[in-house]
Amino acid sequence: MVVWITGASSGLGLATAQALREAGHTVVAGARSFRAETGTDGIHRLPLDVTDEASVTAFAEAARAVSPRVDALVQCAGILVLGPCEETSPEEYRRVMDTDFLGMVRMNRAVLPLMRGQGSGKIVMFSSINGLLGIPCQSAYTAAKHAIEGYAECLQMEARRFGIQVCLVEPGDHRSGSQHTRHHAEAVTPESPYWADYQSATGVIHRDETHGSDPAKLGRKVARVLARKRMPVRLRIAKPDQHLAVYLHDLLPPGLNGWILRKYYYGKS
Ligand SMILES: NC(=O)c1ccc[n+]([C@@H]2O[C@H](COP(=O)([O-])OP(=O)(O)OC[C@H]3O[C@@H](n4cnc5c(N)ncnc54)[C@H](OP(=O)(O)O)[C@@H]3O)[C@@H](O)[C@H]2O)c1
């Protein structure tokens, strides 16, 4: 298969690109920090900024010079801004939506005509457990991932008759190292009325990621699922407690669910 993959310079995207390459696929990987080169690992790297239409077009053209086909697109590019809703600016929301959600829309618009022409294709979009439930201080990311979930359900129905499959990957916490590069809302300061809760919630988020699952294992699982004749519409890759959190979110009254999550992230209800 010829697979294009976004956000492949670090974390889950890098692990997935490596797993796909090890499985014998032609991998064309994009990230802002890439220069055009083919590494000793055999992965073709190309510069790509998913927030920039011209960059997406240039990536698609360069990828088609590597191979004219695109059998699969795996979308991992994403950013995260932590902050309470009141102190996260519209500009910060816009940045996250532009990368995490609209970035996927731009990439899909680039591959869909090609896949329709081929009569086949697979699109894998990295959502998150946060695409299914909200947690404190991650509203921009949660909103973008919820947008991806809804959008992917629509795309899945529309694209099916052209032989195009869509799969949402919903990871729980993984040790991607992304906590070292993430952004915090500029307005959050020790003077903030949310400061104590913010410290508590981000401490829990950081701890859960540090003790998260192995990205290499996730990469291999995504590669295996991509090779199947029929992909699932949703692939949740999470520890049992995060599966349980989603289950309880759908089962319990919202007030009770909120109480449990506040207790977990703030240490108090
Ligand atoms: N790690 C987890 O626990 C976890 C859990 C659930 C879901 N996820 C999802 O999995 C995906 C990868 O997460 P991660 O933790 O591995 O993050 P990460 O290590 O921070 O990697 C993010 C990737 O996105 C790229 N990127 C950021 N902005 C971009 C842009 N405008 N255009 C192109 N590429 C861009 C980055 O490369 P450059 O900076 O070079 O552009 C990097 O390769 C994300 O969609 C994330 O939401 C992760």
Report pLDDT digits (tens) over 154-197: 999 999 999 999 999 999 999 988 776 789 999 999 999 999 99
For residues 237-253, give the mean pLDDT: 96
Q: Ligand 1: which residue has its CA nearest to atom 7?
A: 128
Active site residue 194: no
Regarding the domain delimited by 2-266, which CATH topology (the fold level of the hierarchy) does it fall under? Rossmann fold (3.40.50)
Tell me, using a 6 A CB cutoff, whether residue 178 lines ligand 1. yes
Q: What is the spatial distance between Cα 209 and Cα 123, in angstroms, rounded to a whole number?
A: 26
Q: Separation of 182 CA from ligand 1 center, angstroms?
A: 10
Q: Separation of 191 CA from ligand 1 center, angstroms?
A: 30
Please report, for the chain, the start and end positions of each structural domain, with discontinuous segments joined by +. Answer: 2-266
Tally Cβ neighbours within 10 Å of residue 208: 19
Where does the pLDDT of residue 269 fall: very low under 50, low under 70, confident under 90, or very high at 90 and above?
A: low
Average pLDDT of the chain, as a whole number = 96
What integer pLDDT is reported at residue 138 of this predicted model? Answer: 96
What integer pLDDT is reported at residue 181 of this predicted model? Answer: 72
Residue to substitute in 6, 105, 176 for testing ligand 1 pocket (most ligand atoms within 8 angstroms of CB): 176
pTM over 0.95: yes
Q: Ligand 1: which residue has its CA nearest to atom 19?
A: 11
CA distances from 178 to 167, 183, 239, 253 (A): 23, 10, 19, 33
Asked whether the beta carbons of 21 and 27 are under 8 A apart, the reply is: yes
111-156 pLDDT per residue, tens: 999 999 999 999 999 999 999 999 999 999 999 999 999 999 999 9
Active site residue 127: yes
Tokens 């004749």, located at residue: 229
Beta strands in the chain (DSSP E): 2-6, 26-31, 37-38, 44-47, 72-75, 81-82, 121-126, 164-171, 183-184, 234-237
Q: What percent of the chain has pLDDT over 90?
A: 96
What integer pLDDT is reported at residue 176 of this predicted model? Answer: 84
- In this predicted structure, the answer to whether residue 243 has a pLDDT above a threshold of 90 is yes
Tokens (6 digits) for 22: 């090890």
From 9, 128, 176, 213, active-site residue: 9
For residues 47-51, give the mean pLDDT: 98
Q: What is the spatial distance between Cα 128 and Cα 141, in angstroms, rounded to a whole number?
A: 9
Q: Separation of 116 CA from ligand 1 center, angstroms?
A: 27
Q: What is the spatial distance between Cα 42 and Cα 48, in angstroms, rounded to a whole number?
A: 18
- In this predicted structure, the answer to whether residue 209 has a pLDDT above a threshold of 70 is yes
Burial string for 87-103 (b: 16+ CB within 10 Å, else e) reads bbeeebbebbbbbbbbb
Q: Ligand 1: which residue has its CA nearest to atom 13?
A: 12
- In 160-239, alpha helices (H): 195-210, 215-227
Tell me, using a 6 A CB cutoff, whether residue 12 lines ligand 1. yes
Tell me, using a 6 A CB cutoff, whether residue 108 lines ligand 1. no
Active site residue 33: no
Tell me, using a 6 A CB cutoff, whether residue 33 lines ligand 1. yes
Q: For ligand 1, what atom is nearest to the CA of residue 34? A: 40
Tell me, using a 6 A CB cutoff, whether residue 121 lines ligand 1. no
From 122, 128, 139, 141, active-site residue: 141
